[in-house]
Structure 1
Amino acid sequence: MRQKTDPLHAASKLLDFDDDRIARLIADRGWRELDEFDRIGAIYDFVRNEIAFGYNQADDIPASQVLSDGYGQCNTKGTLFMALLRGVGIRCRLHGFAIHKGLQRGVVPELVYPLTPKEILHSWVEIEFEHAWINLEGFILDDAFLNVLQASFPGTNSLCGYGVGTDCLSAPPVMWEGQDTYIQRTGIVQDFGVFETPDTFYETHGQSFGWLRGILYRHLIRHWMNARVRAFRSGRMKAHNGATHAHKEAANAT
């Protein structure tokens, strides 16, 4: 393992892998005893499927809170993923972006969709593996949620909506195989570059909701969104062609 003075291995306020809950999880799962490929894969699968897709109160929450919540989206799951990776000696960094809001259409209720910012803060995690940097974004959606979307849009490859931005919905590259993974890549409209920690990214590029919309999001809208995600995942709510409109909307924006 790298020395802890390496900034791509170090803890931070958000990457709090010394927190008892995270340290206990790493020990209980025996991740440190695995070889590097399997160590990455086990943590990747944990974040992808045991931390369900959902919306936390903010992007800039520590990894330990994401773990306690048991759910997250691109940014918060990424923070937990980075903390777990650094906790077992894997060098990693954050790559920040903005995605078009159309990618969230279907999850965001249509009643409040016009109030959402045009661009939404996004990120993926880059890891150093076998002397190369690998882009990992495919951990965002859990299999149960992704499977419902695939069943809802049979024969569809290009989809922008319901938390997906891909040109290969039927078989997106989301499994850890030592290569890049993606699930929201086609929704990207801005590239902010790489950051050593999520702390620095959010200090530089915080999501701009505005005071009132921020309160509404934290206390009302995100709960509504999470209820919709749970309903889609369980099959109680069906996806509709709003995602098709979102795809055209995002394409026009780029």
Structure 2
Amino acid sequence: MTITEPLLAPTPILNFDHPSITRLVKDKGWNTLSTHDRIGAVYDFVRNEIAFGYNRSDDISATDVLADGFGQCNTKGTLLMALLRAVGVRCSLHGFTIHKALQRGVVPELVYPIAPEEIIHSWVEVETESGWVNLEGFILDAAFLTALQSSFSGTPSLCGYGAGTDCLQAPPVEWTGGDTYIQETGIVQDFGSFATPDDFYAKHQQSFSFIKGLLYRHIIRHWMNARVRRIRLGSVPQIPGLALPNHNHGESRHAS
């Protein structure tokens, strides 16, 4: 039977009717869980089984993200939405931009000056048994986040290295039935809610020139992913103007 409910329907990007996703859902047994546990199991899978990293573009399909095995806010959000709809949980996308300062430390300093000032961002709005919640805390996998927490142990607020939070040592990233966040302090523009990522990307795309787009897809993102892997292993680069690893810098570094 064709699903007509717009917040449960598959789309070209949310292609949860693909065999790779239907097989994953069946193997995990997520449909046998309560709604609360179903959301939590899917959330934890996307948060930690799909590593933080940079795909070739924001608008790739859920199956592409699953095949890559890594993603960032937008692409991990796509996979989360697809898996939630696959287990019968209504969800939508809320679109934003974040200031590029949030990505400093991950973006190489050589190319940081030419990066767009605002970066397309999103989180997932999910219907729970007690109402709607915002899920954003899935972006950074636990190993990456732990490396940041260890390196910035004296820093309560951080805007950089992929994090934007006022409570770095205890950010609201675990699924407990409520909102989760890890990049919300970097938000600049709010584009509102969209039923699907397909609708969002039809209206909002990252502002790259043709040449910069080619450089990002073929060179820069691989450079960024290499930095992410090093950070995950505890090698956090020191960036002028940001709190330094293993030093006590308590002041907020939020972008304005």
C-alpha contact (below 8 Å) 2:158/2:252 kept by paired residues: no
Could you tell me how far apart the structure 1 residues matched to 2:239 and 2:219 are? 25
Q: Are residues 1:240 and 2:210 paired?
A: no
Which residue number in structure 2 is paired with residue 130 of structure 1? 129
Contact conserved, 1:99 with 1:119, CA < 8 A, in 2? yes
Q: Check conservation: 1:8, 1:93, Cα contact below 8 A.
A: yes
| Deviations 1:156-200 (CA, angstroms, capped at 9, x unpaired) | 111000000000001000000000000000000000000000001
> Which has the larger share of helix?
1
- The CA deviation at 1:242 is 4.1
SS at the partner of 2:242? helix
Q: Does the 8 Å contact 1:134/1:179 carry over to 2? A: yes
Q: 1:49: which partner in 2?
A: 48
Could you tell me how far apart the structure 2 residues matched to 1:175 and 1:87 are? 22
Scaled by the length of structure 1, the TM-score of the pair is 0.95
Structure 2 CA distance, aligned partners of 1:241 and 1:109?
Answer: 10
Equivalences for residues 149-164 of structure 1 within 5 A: 149-164=148-163
1:162–1:243: 8 Å Cα contact kept in structure 2?
no
Which residue type is aligned with residue 238 of structure 2? H
**Match in the other structure for 1:193:** 192
TM-score scaled by structure 2?
A: 0.94
1:96-137: CA deviation from partner (whole Å, max 9, x where unpaired): 000000000000000000110000000000001124110000
Q: Is the 8 A contact 1:57 1:222 kept in 2?
A: yes
For 2:246, the equivalent position in structure 1 comes to: none
Partner of 2:89: 90
Aligned sequence identity (%): 66
1:10-89 residue pairs with structure 2 within 5 A? Answer: 10-89=9-88
Q: What's the counterpart of residue 178 of structure 1?
A: 177
How far does the alpha carbon of each residue in 1:40-75 deviate from its partner, in whole angstroms, 9 at most, with x for none?
A: 000000000000000000000000000000000000
In the TM superposition, what is the alpha-carbon distance from 1:141 to its structure 2 partner?
0.3
Q: How many residues align?
A: 249
Opposite residue 94 of structure 1, the aligned amino acid is L
Contact 1:55–1:226 (CA under 8 A) maintained in structure 2: yes
Q: After superposition, give the CA deviation of every residue in 1:76-106 in whole Å (9 maximum; x if it has no partner).
A: 0000000000000000000000000000000
Unaligned runs of 5+ in 2: 244-250
Q: C-alpha root-mean-square deviation of aligned residues, in Å?
A: 1.6
Check whether the contact 1:107–1:225 (CA below 8 A) recurs between aligned residues: yes
> What amino acid is the match of 1:64?
T
Q: Is the 8 A contact 1:105 1:243 kept in 2?
A: no
Determine helix, strand or coil for the equivalent of 1:75: helix
